[in-house]
Amino acid sequence: MKLKNILLSFIVLSFCQSWSQKIVVQSPNKKNVVALYAMDSNNKGEWYLKISQQTDKNTTEILPKVSLGISRSDQDFSKELLFLKATKPKLVKEHYELPFGKKLVRDNEANEVVVSFENPGKAKLNLIIRAYNDGATFRYEFPEKKGSYVVNDEFTAYQIPKDSKRWLEKWNTANEGLYAESSDDKIVQQEWCYPALFNSSDKSCWFLLHEADLDRNYCGTKLSNTKDSNIYKLTFPDPKDGRGTGEPKPSISLPWQSPWRVISMGSLADIVESTLVEDVSTPTRFKTTDWIKPGKVSWNYWSSNHGTKDFKTVCEFADLAVAMKWPYTLLDWEWDGMTNGGNLEDALKYIHSKGVKPLMWYNSGGDHTWVSSTPKDRMLTHKNRVEEFTKLKKLGVVGVKIDFFESEKQNMIQYYLNILEDAAQFEMMVYFHGCIVPRGWSRTYPNLMTYEGVRGAEWYNNVPEFTNTAPEHNTILPFTRNVVGAMDYTPVTFTNSQYPHITSYGHELALSVLFESPLQHLADRPEGYYELPNEAKNFLKEVPTSWDDTKLIDGYPGQEVTMARKKGANWYIGGISASERKEITKKIKLEFLAEGVNYQAVLIADGKHDKAFSSKTMVVNKNATIDVKLLRRGGFAVSLIPIQN
């Protein structure tokens, strides 16, 4: 209560100053500050936000200007906005859990202020601002009760200081590009995917731009700096996306709220460990979630692009799941054309006889995709989905992988959410490929297990380029794409696909910890796992796919990353290097371990060459360090299990 009174006094004091100057909202820990400014002195006109971070020594200006405004088909809400009022600050405080993800227990805590404006037509616009300990968020609201309109444009734009470093991915509808680092006079101007990572000019603060709580009342957006290299404006989907189907501008009905505009900020550890995207998203209305079960999956496509067409191959991957104690196996595309000793029903019967649960692939269907692979239209309409989910439930299938969406227009957002809602009625888990990146939906629809939306291991099938770009790419993803939600990279391969990998075996093993996905598809062929030494094989049997806690130990995007994740009382560590030139030696401090507990640590690191391991078992506690040597493009994994006295 005392803290709340102090915050109230601080913000009210700000309100008593000239409105043209600013309204200030501070995070609960007073570190992050969001200030609202008017462009002129009469509380009327254009408004913008300034976002900064305060420390004991200085204040870092993270975003000197975030332009605001929105335009509807009937009128504009950007140029001549008259300030009406601001609410008293409200402490948002929420405690919740998710059955999977980087953390089990979440705390959604922020200070919130709602600022009300009026345009020349007397129509109202609210700006809802929140300051979090790990970032800031804001959203627009039309509070009036009636009216339906098209949104012509949203003017939200982030001004980035010129000498800020940035890591961005060129826009593509599948979100499967590479992140590129740029700064100073080497800034490329084009459209960009979410999320976008930046390091402040003074290097003291990192921030990640994204959006969350996107619902059926809007479209997905992207970032564009085509007009000014240092101003990243939100833009709507291209009319050509989805083969031209659907409208690029969203239609809304009042009352209405936009998605949250999300700025995660702080140290690299603050970014990696943040759950802000899910914190601000709508809580689930599911009555039960005990049927939602994360786990590892055997998957035949990476090693055999037509593997599911072959009954014997399907059986081999079911046997792999049994041998490795993985609960699931995926029947990917072409299951409807299965031959060589059996068909789909035979395969499902075999899989169930082994105690493994099947997942099945579907084409999203419809005119929005060029891909004709069957079955194509069984997920396209509510009627089709109900019929298909009814069949799948009888066949004992527990989840579906749905592919090829190719658009983030409003009609496609509605399609995603319709699938999730219908699937939930049948207690069916879902994951998307060729798709959007996470927008917080896993909190609202916890049957959404994972998304692709990443340049993952299947690109070893597609182009020779990935052989050389993967090591660096792998060290960027934990700071960018995987921060905002589950990522179906399909990692941990030791043999080669069409094109080889040059990451070490230790690097590949570490990805099982570094890359978070509640359904983790381990992509290698059976012999790739059977031929592993026992320590590595046991690690892949035991490593979880959902976590109680996540800690970044150290790293830098494009160079290296080491992370620790907790499940129950156990901890797991994964670390990789992208270095092409030199081996490195790391000292891993174990300060995150429980006080007064000894752990058996099994270290599995690079061996004498990149296709060999070295293993070591030791007893450690939180005061210990582990020394580990990484080869070029190398890596390591550690399990830490409490020793029972």
pLDDT band at 645 (very low <50, low <70, confident <90, very high): confident
| pLDDT at position 178 | 98
Q: What is the pLDDT of residues 410-424, one digit of tens each?
A: 999 999 999 999 999
pTM: 0.95
| pLDDT at position 547 | 98
Torsion 474-400-496-522 (CA) sign: positive
Angle at 195 between CA 191 and CA 200, to 5 degrees: 95
Structure tokens that stand for 530 in this block: 């059977």
Sheet holding 549-556, edge to edge: 549-556, 560-567, 570-577, 635-642, 599-606, 613-620
Domain residue limits, the chain: 2-279, 456-485+495-516+544-645
pLDDT at 7 over 90: no
Do residues 243 and 406 make contact, with C-beta atoms less than 8 angstroms apart?
Answer: yes
136/198 Cα distance (integer angstroms): 15
Mean pLDDT across 574-594: 96
Q: What is the CB neighbour count within 10 angstroms for residue 396?
A: 12
Mean pLDDT across 66-92: 96
CATH 2.70.98.10 for domain 2-279, yes or no, is yes
223/190 Cα distance (integer angstroms): 9
| pLDDT at position 11 | 44
| pLDDT at position 489 | 98
- Of these ranges, 10-24, 48-62, 229-243, the one predicted with the greatest mean pLDDT is 229-243
| pLDDT at position 21 | 53
281/86 Cα distance (integer angstroms): 23
The mean pLDDT of the chain is 95
Mean pLDDT across 110-128: 97
pLDDT at 40 over 90: no
| pLDDT at position 20 | 54
| pLDDT at position 56 | 74
193/235 Cα distance (integer angstroms): 11
| pLDDT at position 371 | 96
- Non-local (6+) Cβ contacts of 631 within 8 A are 504, 506, 583, 606, 609, 610
Closest CA to 150 of 251, 257, 259: 251
Do residues 195 and 187 make contact, with C-beta atoms less than 8 angstroms apart?
Answer: no
What region, left, alpha or beta, does residue 236 occupy, with left being phi > 0 and alpha being psi -120 to 50 degrees? beta
DSSP 60-121: EEEEEEEE--EEESS-EESSSEEEEEEPPPEEEEEEEE-SSSS-SEEEEEEEEEEEEEE-TT
| pLDDT at position 293 | 97
Q: What is the pLDDT of residues 465-505, one digit of tens each?
A: 999 999 999 999 999 999 999 999 999 999 999 999 999 99
491/477 Cα distance (integer angstroms): 12
Q: Which residues of 369-382 are buried (b: 16+ CB within 10 A; e: fewer)?
A: beeebebbebbbee
Q: Output the CATH code of domain 456-485+495-516+544-645.
A: 3.20.20.70
pLDDT at 36 over 70: yes
Do residues 485 and 510 make contact, with C-beta atoms less than 8 angstroms apart?
Answer: no
Q: What is the pLDDT of residues 155-202, one digit of tens each?
A: 999 999 999 999 999 999 999 999 999 987 789 999 999 999 999 988
Q: What is the pLDDT of residues 16-35, one digit of tens each?
A: 344 455 799 999 999 999 99
Torsion 21-25-30-32 (CA) sign: negative
pLDDT band at 389 (very low <50, low <70, confident <90, very high): very high
| pLDDT at position 3 | 43
| pLDDT at position 337 | 97
pLDDT at 558 over 80: yes
314/332 Cα distance (integer angstroms): 10
Torsion 115-120-122-123 (CA) sign: negative
What separation, in Å, do the N-terminal and C-terminal C-alpha atoms of the chain show?
43
Q: What is the pLDDT of residues 597-607, one digit of tens each?
A: 999 999 999 99
pLDDT at 1 over 70: no
pLDDT at 9 over 60: no
